[in-house]
Amino acid sequence: MKNRGDVRHKKQARSSANPQLVRAVVLVGFMGAGKSSVGRALGRQLGWPFEDLDERIEQRESQAIAEIFRVSGEAVFRRIEHVALRKLLAERRDGSGLVVALGGGAFAGEENIALIAECGSATVFLDAPVEELWRRCQQQAQEGANRPLLVGADQFRELHQARMPHFMKASLRLETNGKEIEAIALEVAECLKKT
C-alpha cells in the first residue's frame, strides 16, 4: 500500500429529506479492500458504532459465512445478507450515526443498493488495484481467513471486473493503496464533512 490516490466525489445521497432516516456510512468494495478494518477505525474516529454485516450474519445464523455457502449455497447467503442489512438499517432510524462494513458482494445486489439509497446513507467505495486485493486476500488466507469465493486468480479478477460498475455507484470512491488504515478512515471522515 504505497501510492496516494484521488478521491472522487459523486452525487451524495442525503438524509436531510427525512430526519428519521439513519445517518449511516456504508463501506463497500471487493474482498480485501479493508472494509472491516477501516470501518472499525472510522467508527472510533467519528464516535459512532460500527457494524460488520458478515459478523452479524454469522452471529444470527450461528454459522460461519463459509459454512453457509457450503451447506446452503450462495443464493441462500444473498437472501440472508439482504434481510440482515434491512434489519440493521431499520434498527437505527433515530438519526444516530452508524458505520457499516458490507461483504464484498453485498453492494452488487440491486436490492441492497436501493435499500441503502432509501436510507440516505453515504456509501464509500474502498478501491485498490485487483493485484493488491488478491495479494491481501492470499495473505489473509494464510492467516486463517476463509473466503468461499476466493477460488483462483482468474475467477477473482473476473468477479472484480463484474462488480466494478456496481462499486462505482457509491457516493465516494477512495484509493486505499499505500495507505494505513487510520489514514484511510481519517480521509473518509474528512470527505464526509465536505459532502
Return the residue of 34, 39, 105, 120 that touches ligand S3P, per CB under 6 A.
105
- Residues 6 or more apart in contact with residue 116 via CB below 8 angstroms: 13, 26, 85, 89, 107, 123
Q: What are phi and psi of 12, to 5 degrees?
A: -100, 125
Return the residue of 103, 121, 133, 185 that touches ligand S3P, per CB under 6 A.
103
Residue 147 contacts ligand S3P per CB under 6 A: yes
Instruction: Quote the least distance from Cβ 194 to ligand S3P, whole Å.
Output: 27
Instruction: Quote the least distance from Cβ 49 to ligand S3P, whole Å.
Output: 19
Q: Do residues 39 and 100 lie in contact, with contact meaning Cβ atoms separated by under 8 Å?
A: yes
Site residue total, ligand S3P (CB under 6 A): 10
Binding to ligand S3P in span 37-76, by CB under 6 A: 54, 65
Q: CA dist 94 to 19, 98, 129, Å?
A: 8, 11, 37
In the complex, the residues that contact ligand S3P under the rule CB under 6 A are 31, 35, 54, 65, 103-105, 147-149
